[in-house]
Structure 1
């Protein structure tokens, strides 16, 4: 009887697919790190509020309220899923923490130099304060490490599990 329960338990516990884990990592990473960015804005370490994501596409005073902040964090989380999927497609087999650091720096450069004209709430780079630049670089690096290392670690676990299964069969 106890064996039947264990067998039923193992069959009902289906592990999360790798792609689902990547999507969740992107969503959670985007919401978490943009939430930290909002906190840093609140304590005046950065001039950039997460609601800058809404500025080009929305009108109304609601975006300046708590609802605008929450929706901004969720939108950044959704965009972060795309960033995580790009990491998954291109860099997942590189297990170094430095790959995540570089990925975060590339994302920072992309947002602050390439996409900057889209967001009127972000001043041109040469007009940003030192605290904003340093805080933003740190946030992007930490985001890159979070997403990158989470995905690369899972890739290593999948490979390890596959090699163990091969050994067990032979």
Structure 2
């Protein structure tokens, strides 16, 4: 009886508790949000040290009115907006490319994303010159940031997807499920 009581207490200890796994959609949301915040902040740092002419606040140009967009507050609000948009980008990657276990897929995804933003969506951003009018440093810096962003999103989502597949296979092959299947 004493032994049963101590094993029950042992299970109740925090260190012996298993964490509830985070659902896969929440993981994608976190990857997208963190990726957008981190890489757009690095883009802002690149803007500050004059590696690029394009600041994160370009995202607010078509929709927000006022000079506040040019302030530090405007830059940080833009970084948060980019983080929110990045969540949708992460879900897009998950829907289309999750099964590809190759770092190059993420790099190509980032390069394609750069092309979409700077070629297809360029008319929306009136303060951003056409790619042919941008300085070489701006193009190289932004292409590199987008490729690294794509690799981060792609590799993180692919890794989590493959971990989920491995865990599902392990759960199917546990002795408990095999015994239940045998009966």
TM over 0.5: yes
1:63-82: CA deviation from partner (whole Å, max 9, x where unpaired): 11111011100000011111
Number of residue pairs matched by the alignment: 168
User: More deviation in 107-116 or 88-97?
Assistant: 88-97
2:167 to 161, 164, 170: 161
Q: Is 1:119 aligned to residue 119 of structure 2? A: no
Cross-structure match for 1:148: 154
Higher relative contact order (CA 8 A, sep 6+): 1
Distance 1:7 1:41, change over 3 A: closer
Q: Which runs of 5+ in 1 are unaligned?
A: none
Task: Indicate the residue corresponding to 2:6 in structure 1.
Answer: none
TM-score normalised to structure 1 length: 0.94
Kindly indicate whether the alpha-carbon contact (under 8 Å) linking 1:55 and 1:121 is maintained by their aligned counterparts in 2: yes
How do 1:53-68 and structure 2 match up within 5 A? 53-68=59-74
Alpha-carbon shift at residue 3 of structure 1 (Å): 2.6
Q: Distance in 1 between matches of 2:92 and 2:169?
A: 26
Mapped partners of 1:30, 1:107: distance in 2: 13
Does 2:86 match 1:80? yes
TM-score for the superposition, normalised by structure 2:
0.88
* Whole-angstrom distance in 1 between the partners of 2:172 and 2:134: 54
Q: CA deviation at 1:98?
A: 0.9
> Does the 8 Å CA contact 1:48/1:121 hold for their aligned counterparts?
no
Computing the radius of gyration from Cα coordinates, the structure with the larger value is 2
Superimposed CA distance per residue, residues 48-100 of structure 1 (whole angstroms, 9 cap, x where no aligned partner): 01111111111112111111011100000011111001001111111111110
Unaligned runs of 5+ residues in structure 2 are 1-8, 179-183
Cα distance, 1:146 vs structure 2: 0.3
1:9 corresponds in structure 2 to 17
- Report the CA distance shift for 1:4/1:122 in structure 2 as closer, same or farther (over 3 A): same
Partner of 2:5: none
1:28 and 2:37 equivalent?
Answer: no
Stretches (4+) displaced over 6 A: none
> Partners of 2:62 and 2:15 in 1: how far apart?
54
Partner SS state of residue 62, structure 2: coil
